[in-house]
Amino acid sequence: MRKRETTVQHDVAIRQDATEMHVLSVDQRAAERLPLTLTLSYTIRSGDEQITGSSKTMTISGAGIEFSISQMIAVASPCQIVLAMLDRPEPLMLFGQIGWCRQKRGGKDYAVGVTFSPARNETTFAQYCHFVAAELLKRYLQ
């Protein structure tokens, strides 16, 4: 039996054995993610269905958020997110689309990534980016 080895190099997962190398996944993140828990509510339009609910973020970035949902959602589905911010009394309403959705390991829930649309959210997106930048600074100045 051949020995197989999996390593992560530059955000690319590679499996290599004695004769072959396989790229398992490539991380296509455009922005650094922060593990931060914020309360949110969502409305997602998936086909003819409107899905609403609430969740908590798993990670945030300058481009969007990741959170948990109970069902599979089609990529590119439009969504509205109402995000409770730590330093603001009023939540931010942001519009975006589903960038990816995949089942969590060993669970029945799904992790979903939402990419925000800066042009549709000009003012609130700027406020969101300011918040993310402040959180990044806190992380690196600690």
pLDDT digits (tens, 9 = 90+) for 3-27: 544 444 444 444 555 555 544 444 4
- Span 81-94, average pLDDT: 91
- With contact defined as beta carbons under 8 Å apart, do 44 and 79 qualify? yes
pLDDT digits (tens, 9 = 90+) for 46-74: 889 999 999 999 999 999 999 999 999 99
What pTM value is reported for the model? 0.75
CATH superfamily of 39-141: predicted glycosyltransferase like domains (2.40.10.220)
Mean pLDDT, the chain, rounded, equals: 83
* 75-98 burial code (b ≥16 CB/10 A, e <16): eebebbbebbeeeeeebbebbbbb
